Structure 1
Amino acid sequence: MADRKICIVTGTRAEYGLLYWLMREINEDTELELQLIATGTHFSSEFGMTYEQIEQDGFVINEKIEMLLSSDSPVGITKSLGLATIGFADAFERLKPDVIVLLGDRYEILAAAQAALIARIPVAHISGGETTEGVIDEAIRHSVTKMSHFHFVGAEEYRRRVIQLGEQPERVFNFGDIGLDNINRLKLLSKEEFEKSIGFSLGKINFLVTYHPESLSHRNPLLTVQALFEALDAFPAAKVIITKPNADTGSRVILEMIDEYALVHSDRVFACTSLGQVRYLSAMKYCNVVIGNSSSGIIEAPAFQVPTVNIGNRQNGRLKADSIIDCDDSADSIKLSIEKALSGDFQKEMTSVMSLYGIGNTSEEIKNVLKSAQLESILIKKFNDFGINSVN
């Protein structure tokens, strides 16, 4: 019988892709038992019913928590948060995990952290200490940090920030960003295999586009997406692959606009709910520019030495490599940034770009800590006074 039960929570396709290798590491360790809770958009037909991919990958989902209401308004999302908290309370009581692993900053992760806090179950949080100033995720991420007992961050600056929040330095680990494990460990598709898998041919110039609504912005996301499409239309020879946003406030209007845009421009635009990690990273490998405001343009794209046009404020505060071009959400600014990314001089600079988020092998490092960590008295947290004790 396994010595320690480690429960991983996943609520979106992107998050599952980041957690995949950690789940594998735990599942293959005979001294550990993997427990898996799926929730959020994994059970939404609108977002691809991606829990099926988890099961196809050979994992057993121990608990399925359906919590999404058919509304992306602030009221609807708040009610979904409440439903998720109730669901996690029941799930944790049935599973009785020794440690719960949460990644990131979405509202279903906040629900899991709240339920774990009351259930007195230690939480290990991945990707704390980062800042994303344009979305409510910023406050959620730091709140989850304060409810967590182990912290696995993506860079040294983020480690210092978690310690600044009062966490004990010996419980904050910088093994690099977990997303880079996919680049190192997945077998990506050849260009021909990728084209066949999506039924769409690439061209001489290819764009990979993902745009999420900025939940703290007062600007209508419809206007930003219209500006993005106007900028893309300035490059009629480019083939465009669009992946759709997660279930955030205002996402449904974006989904409708993407579908309409892809239908009108079917000769050069391919849109889908989810590519999955292998196809998404393969698309990134073969594209000329990553466009939008996804964290993958900040973390993974530099590892491929592919330039990123980062739109708006969603990723403000993150560490950014020299391959990232920030712009506002006007059509002219996006267009000029794409032109810069495609320019010969900028493309030459890509050969010297390096990731700011480590070199991978993060999942194994996290698993080893979770396996060996002493859990006795771990729930009693002492505040590390930043002005008194060194962050080192």
Structure 2
Amino acid sequence: MQTKICLISGARSDWPLIEPLLDAARRQAVDAHLIVTGTHLSRRHGHTLDVILAAGWQPARRLEILEIDDSPLAAARSTGRAVSLAADALQELAPHWVVVAGDRYESFAAAVAATMLGQPLAHVGGGETDVATNQDGSLRNAITKLAHLHFVANTAAAQRIRALGEETWRIHAVGLPSLDALKTRRRPRTQLAPIGLPASGDFLLASFLPVTLRPDESFKHLDLMLDALDHIAQHKLCLLSNADAHADEHDARIRRWADGRRDATVVHSLPPELYATALAECCCYVGNSSSGVIESPVFGTPAVIVGLRQQGRLVAANTLALEQPTAAALLQAIRRQIAHGRFDVESPYGDGTAAARVLETLCRLRSRPDLLTKRLSCEADAPDSRPTDATSAPCRLSEPAAPSGGVTSTRHPRRLPAEAPP
């Protein structure tokens, strides 16, 4: 019987993880159904459903969940609505697998619905460590404990999920699907002209997402970033936020800063092809999006991470992180990265083959008799948690070893430091 999967996407941030899985499903004759929700259906957040439709994907279900404001209460209510609507959709579609990605509340809601329906759940992108400043980290770990299979970026993420008590055979370090087609998505720079970007000359790519558990610090760091950009001569291409708490005020500050400027272009979002083009063509990325950590190494793009949102993640040597920046230090870091130019680096987040490996594993393990029977697997239980046959062994993805004497090579990853305890 053909394997049937349902993939859920709720925002522009998880779509680059989901679309390669749809592509792989089509190549591997897997019956894939897409459920879209969240900001994909929101006009004030760019209505990125248009991007999905333009790429030729037809959603099986569209779930309207958003409230009219961006308060924490609105996010909580949207999550509850998403659980209810996702449950209805998944009950009707009855897949062999429900697939969610990342750490947003839309993915969490679908994971809860699948769990209550007794449907096998696969999670892409667990085991990351950016947990200090947003609900995202808590939601990611909650999805991990609900999921029956885990597809993670690297062996470090796999080890964290193992430490959470997940059985070894459930954990597969395959890399992130978002890297699979990143280079092939790149288009000529001329395709950025319709959004208002000059046809020639260097430009920066900037974005700043709310740090939801520390809103005051988030606004402070955003203002520091905008002040630093005032002193950078290059054109600035600025992206606005997702549907996070306090996003409206973040976006308003960016719009006020850019109003009347001839050296700044503000857009709500970009299609994946144009975002890949912007990331590849820009002279530097500045902000706090995970793309400055995960995708920028693919193109060797210099990146400056502002604040704590990506704290704890592995970074390649193209990335400078300022967790508590001053205006002077931030401006110096941006100028240093621009002056350096492209880096020769390896990504710690995959080798471009993740999606095919995810689909192969879903098909292979869908009938495993103990799939839905999760157990807490501790160190003392390690012999029992090892795979009992070759067909259940997890995929492995070797991380580059750090050179002796510390991370000095531009090709090897290092970790953003965790925040010191008070």
TM-score (norm 1): 0.93
1:212 maps to 209
1:275 maps to 270
The 3-state SS of whatever aligns with 1:101 is strand
1:210-249 alignment to 2 at 5 Å? Answer: 210-219=207-216, 221-235=218-232, 237-249=233-245
Report the Cα distance in structure 2 between the residues aligned to 1:52 and 1:305, rounded to whole angstroms: 30
One-letter amino acid of the counterpart of residue 371, structure 2: I
Report the Cα distance in structure 1 between the residues aligned to 2:140 and 2:176, rounded to whole angstroms: 15
Report the Cα distance in structure 2 between the residues aligned to 1:218 and 1:274, rounded to whole angstroms: 22
State the 1:354 CA deviation.
Answer: 1.7
Q: Return closer, same or farther for 1:387/1:157 CA change in 2, 3 Å cut-off.
A: farther
Report the Cα distance in structure 1 between the residues aligned to 2:379 and 2:302, rounded to whole angstroms: 37
Task: Give yes or no for the alignment of 1:318 onto 2:310.
Answer: no
Task: Give yes or no for the alignment of 1:194 onto 2:191.
Answer: yes
CA RMSD of aligned residues (A): 1.8
Report the Cα distance in structure 2 between the residues aligned to 1:182 and 1:387, rounded to whole angstroms: 41
Q: Is the 8 A contact 1:17 1:276 kept in 2?
A: no
1:250-289 alignment to 2 at 5 Å? Answer: 250-265=246-261, 267-289=262-284
Report the Cα distance in structure 2 between the residues aligned to 1:199 and 1:162, rounded to whole angstroms: 43
Report the Cα distance in structure 1 between the residues aligned to 2:215 and 2:241, rounded to whole angstroms: 18
User: Where does structure 1 lack aligned partners over 5 or more consecutive residues?
Assistant: none
Report the Cα distance in structure 2 between the residues aligned to 1:358 and 1:17, rounded to whole angstroms: 14
Report the Cα distance in structure 1 between the residues aligned to 2:308 and 2:154, rounded to whole angstroms: 21
Q: Any idea what the Cα deviations from partners look like across 1:240-263, whole Å, max 9, x if unmatched?
A: 011111111110111222222222
Q: Is the 8 A contact 1:202 1:239 kept in 2?
A: no
**Alignment counterpart, residue 337 of structure 1, candidates 333, 338, 361:** 333
Q: Any idea what the Cα deviations from partners look like across 1:147-185, whole Å, max 9, x if unmatched?
A: 001110001100111111111111211111222112244
Q: Is the 8 A contact 1:194 1:283 kept in 2?
A: no
Task: Give yes or no for the alignment of 1:389 onto 2:382.
Answer: yes
The 3-state SS of whatever aligns with 1:334 is helix
2:99 maps to 101
State the 1:388 CA deviation.
Answer: 4.2
The 3-state SS of whatever aligns with 2:175 is coil
Q: Any idea what the Cα deviations from partners look like across 1:61-112, whole Å, max 9, x if unmatched?
A: 1111111101211111111111111111111111111100000000111111
Report the Cα distance in structure 2 between the residues aligned to 1:49 and 1:218, rounded to whole angstroms: 26
Report the Cα distance in structure 2 between the residues aligned to 1:75 and 1:329, rounded to whole angstroms: 30
Report the Cα distance in structure 1 between the residues aligned to 2:78 and 2:70, rounded to whole angstroms: 10
Is the deviation greater in 367-376 or in 130-139? 367-376
Q: Any idea what the Cα deviations from partners look like across 1:115-163, whole Å, max 9, x if unmatched?
A: 1110000110000000112211111111100000111000110011111
For these two proteins, the number of residue pairs brought into alignment is 382
One-letter amino acid of the counterpart of residue 83, structure 1: R
The 3-state SS of whatever aligns with 2:81 is helix
Report the Cα distance in structure 2 between the residues aligned to 1:109 and 1:314, rounded to whole angstroms: 19
Work out the percentage of aligned pairs sharing the same amino acid.
Answer: 30
Report the Cα distance in structure 2 between the residues aligned to 1:23 and 1:63, rounded to whole angstroms: 15
Q: Return closer, same or farther for 1:19/1:282 CA change in 2, 3 Å cut-off.
A: same
Report the Cα distance in structure 1 between the residues aligned to 2:156 and 2:108, rounded to whole angstroms: 23
Task: Give yes or no for the alignment of 1:360 onto 2:355.
Answer: no
Report the Cα distance in structure 2 between the residues aligned to 1:306 and 1:161, rounded to whole angstroms: 28
State the 1:361 CA deviation.
Answer: 1.5
State the 1:387 CA deviation.
Answer: 4.5
Report the Cα distance in structure 2 between the residues aligned to 1:357 and 1:301, rounded to whole angstroms: 11
Is the deviation greater in 382-391 or in 177-186? 382-391
Task: Give yes or no for the alignment of 1:111 onto 2:109.
Answer: yes
